[in-house]
């Protein structure tokens, strides 16, 4: 039948797995931390991060009792949102990550001891410094976290030096950050959240959002004739 070739569509094999993320910025090195906050503040409980395929399902426990899966941040790095803390929210928090395919559970070593007490008036501050960089693809939803606390609870004002309109029908101000749905290229830029509760000094935090796009050839190489062994320079421009 003569020479022939067999071609197949390229494929990628991904193994199902889950493991503790011990990279830079991981909270797993400390076994326990203590937070003391005034009532009515908004908190994000996050015990650390894991590397999981597919993304992990998160469960949260207070004093050993599992909490309802009510308010979790989207994405693999889940967090428990305590929107308006009261004395009943005080306790010891722990987290478990579960691989949805294998059912394997990973209990994170990090725990958080939370106290909710009335305190003197204090300026805004961060229990944990929020991330400074986020990336998202067009059409996705992203939450730029800025969960500051204080006494009284601070209010937040968002601004940007290079994003023309941050307040639009795709953006929502949450108690713990700014949510942007249906991300678009024009959303890329720097975002500044300022927290102020009337007690000096206010604090601000800058976040950079990068919108990832597929590479696109803007101008390909022109048709060119050359001789064998001669040098040839081909120009090509792309974006993405």
Q: Are residues 75 and 21 in the same domain?
A: yes
Rounded to whole angstroms, the Cα distance separating 93 from 110 reads: 9
Total structural domains within the chain: 2
- The continuous run of DSSP H or E covering 114 comes out as strand 111-116
Average pLDDT, stretch 135-158?
96
Report the distance separating Cα 220 and Cα 238, nearest Å: 8
Q: What is the CATH number of the domain that holds 112?
A: 2.60.40.10
Does some domain include residue 131? Answer: yes
Which pLDDT does position 31 carry in this prediction? 78
Helix (H) or strand (E) holding 89: none
Q: Which domain holds residue 94?
A: 14-118
Interval 22-41 mean pLDDT: 76
Band of residue 220 on the pLDDT scale cut at 50, 70, 90: confident
Query: What pLDDT, on the 0 to 100 scale, is given for residue 1?
Result: 44
State pTM to two decimals: 0.79
pLDDT of residue 137: 95
pLDDT of res. 94: 94
Residues 141 and 110 placed together within one structural domain of the fold: no
Distances (CA, A) of 81 to 38, 46, 214: 16, 9, 33
**Domain finish residue from 118, 153, 174:** 118
Residue 166, token pair as written in the block = 């941050």
In a domain, 4, yes or no: no
Average pLDDT, the chain: 86
Q: Are residues 157 and 90 in the same domain?
A: no
Question: Pick from 98, 118, 138: which residue ends a domain?
Answer: 118
């Amino acid at each position: 039948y003569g020479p022939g070739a067999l071609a197949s569509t390229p494929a990628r094999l991904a193994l199902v797995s889950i493991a503790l993320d011990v990279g830079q910025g991981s909270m797993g090195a400390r076994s326990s931390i203590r937070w003391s906050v005034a009532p009515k503040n908004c908190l994000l409980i996050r015990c650390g991060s894991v590397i999981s395929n597919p993304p992990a399902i998160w469960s949260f426990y207070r004093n050993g009792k599992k909490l309802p899966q009510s308010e979790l941040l989207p994405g693999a790095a889940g967090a428990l949102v305590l929107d308006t803390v009261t004395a009943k929210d005080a306790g010891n928090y722990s987290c478990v990550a579960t691989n949805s395919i294998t059912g394997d559970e990973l209990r994170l070593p990090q725990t958080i001891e939370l106290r909710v007490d009335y305190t003197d008036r204090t300026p805004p501050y961060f229990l944990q410094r929020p991330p400074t960089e986020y990336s998202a693809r067009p059409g996705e939803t992203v939450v730029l976290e800025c969960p500051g606390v204080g006494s009284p609870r601070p209010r937040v004002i968002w601004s940007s030096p290079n994003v023309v309109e941050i307040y639009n029908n795709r953006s929502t101000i949450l108690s713990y950050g700014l949510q942007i749905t249906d991300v678009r290229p024009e959303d890329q830029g720097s975002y500044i959240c300022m927290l102020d509760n009337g007690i000096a000094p206010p604090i601000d935090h800058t976040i950079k959002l990068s919108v990832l796009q597929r590479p696109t050839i803007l101008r390909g190489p022109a048709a060119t004739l050359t001789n064998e062994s001669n040098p040839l320079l081909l120009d090509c421009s792309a974006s993405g």
